[in-house]
Amino acid sequence: MQKAHLWNSDENAVRCLLCSHYCRIHEGRRGVCQVRKNVDGVLYSLNYGKLIASHIDPIEKKPLFHFLPGSQSYSIAMTGCNLRCSWCQNWEISQLSNSNDPDRLPFVAPDTVVKAAAKSGCKSISYTYTEPTIFYEYARDVSLLAREAGLRNVWVSNGYMTEEMLDEYLPLLDVINVDVKCFDGDVHRKYTGAKLHPILDNCIRLKKAGVWLEVTTLLIPGINDSREQVEGLASFIANELGTETPWHVSRYYPQPQFREIGPTDPGVIEDALITGRKAGLQFVYGGNLRRDEDTHCPSCGELLIGRSSLWMTVNKIEDCVCPKCGAKIAGIWE
Ligand code: SF4
């Protein structure tokens, strides 16, 4: 166990300040994420350094399409999550069980991760697969060392962290993909167990802080694919985050724990991409579709980056601009 960061005492309990649940945790109990525990009035992280996954991925897999395209990212995760999304694609590692109990996993020191990432030629370390907020202490320690080693820090997140956490971590964060799951607060609470508005507020906060932000939405039939929700989310991204913010709209495939809903019709994804373009978004991408993955110049339409199944096939961007018309292309390219 590692003493947790960002909490305070609250009468006969502790209050965790890491995510927007702000759990009040009594002696011997755990928070919603199940990996933070009150022991004798002190909050502990139970998953510090207990890697449940580490892989080298193409950055396109996160998905991040406007950040060092074609580069590899050393990707790590700990067990646990602060949300309970019924359709989670990583349910087996995001939800605590006997088989993924951190106590049963070996400890990996932060500098071991950074050395492995640097040695493998990765340009970044991604905190991903589960929710990095719930392994914040470890992510922060790795991030500090990553910066010293010249590596960028990438989060793939549900965006439910607190303002307190973001304020502290923003100087270390280079890039984030936030999974905005829907645009209806009741639907969000019903299927994830969390409120929607802190996530939208955090997207605005991240953008204002200058962190490179891309947004992902998994469209699930009957849950978040209504015209109101898709139009609402597209307008939010365009108006509040900026039309240069990439939006990845992904097709849902049934997961073992959520089989009652079938896969998303590809036409629904196409319609959502059209809605995004109508809202003014310059970069909308299809996910799990095997098409609509390429980047075109928003000024002249030139193909800039070609992709196939989340691998970059061509990159024509030079000095951050379109080689044909000279328009500046939003992103981090070098
Ligand atoms: S990280 Fe979130 S879910 Fe976990 S204990 Fe803290 S406030 Fe609760």
Position 58 in a domain? yes
Instruction: Work out whether strand 212-219 and strand 2-3 pair parallel, antiparallel, or are unpaired.
Output: unpaired
198 with 294, same domain? yes
CA of 64 to the centre of ligand 1 (A): 27
Q: Is 43 in the pocket of ligand 1 (CB under 6 A)?
A: no
pLDDT of 43 above 90: yes
16 with 114, same domain? no
30 with 117, same domain? no
**Alpha-carbon distance values, 118 to 1, 69, 151, 171, 283 (Å):** 27, 18, 8, 21, 31
Tell me the sheet residues that pair with 161.
19
Domain CATH for 93: 3.20.20.70
pLDDT given for residue 90 in this prediction: 86
277 with 252, same domain? yes
| Dihedral sign, Cα of residue 39, residue 44, residue 48, residue 51 | positive
pLDDT of 317 above 90: yes
Position 334 in a domain? no
Position 324 in a domain? no
104 with 236, same domain? yes
pLDDT given for residue 255 in this prediction: 85
Q: Is 37 in the pocket of ligand 1 (CB under 6 A)?
A: no
62 with 39, same domain? no
Position 326 in a domain? no
pLDDT given for residue 310 in this prediction: 83
102 with 26, same domain? no
pLDDT given for residue 1 in this prediction: 83
Among candidates 68, 69, 59, which has minimal Cα distance to 306? 69
DSSP 22: -
Among candidates 272, 293, 160, 292, which has minimal Cα distance to 220? 272
Q: Is 19 in the pocket of ligand 1 (CB under 6 A)?
A: yes
Q: Is 31 in the pocket of ligand 1 (CB under 6 A)?
A: yes
Position 307 in a domain? yes
217 with 295, same domain? yes
Q: What is the DSSP string of 131-190?
A: -GGGGHHHHHHHHHHHHHTT-EEEEEE-S-B-HHHHHHHGGG--EEEEE---S-HHHHHH
Position 93 in a domain? yes
pLDDT given for residue 122 in this prediction: 98
pLDDT given for residue 235 in this prediction: 98
Position 65 in a domain? yes
22 with 85, same domain? no
155 pLDDT tier (thresholds 50, 70, 90): very high
Position 322 in a domain? no
Mean pLDDT of the chain: 95
Among candidates 308, 180, 296, 188, which has minimal Cα distance to 240? 180
pLDDT given for residue 289 in this prediction: 86
332 pLDDT tier (thresholds 50, 70, 90): very high
Reported as a single tens digit per residue, the pLDDT across 83-114 is 989 888 888 888 777 777 888 888 999 999 99
* pLDDT average, residue stretch 269-279: 97
pLDDT of 24 above 80: yes
Which residue puts its alpha carbon closest to atom 6 of ligand 1? Answer: 16
Expressed as residue numbers, the domain containing 36 is 2-45
* Number of folded domains that form the chain: 2
70 with 160, same domain? yes
148 with 177, same domain? yes
Among candidates 107, 140, 143, which has minimal Cα distance to 125? 143
Residues 243, 233: Cα–Cα separation, whole Å: 12
Which residue puts its alpha carbon closest to atom 2 of ligand 1? Answer: 19
Please state the pTM of the whole predicted model: 0.96
* pLDDT average, residue stretch 260-265: 92
Q: In what order do the strands lie in the sheet with 7-10?
A: 7-10, 13-16, 24-26
Q: Which atom of ligand 1 is nearest to the CA of 34?
A: 4
| Phi, psi dihedrals of residue 117, rounded to the nearest 5° | -65, -45
Q: For residue 63, is the peptide bond before it cis, meaning its omega torsion is within 30 degrees of 0?
A: yes
131 with 259, same domain? yes
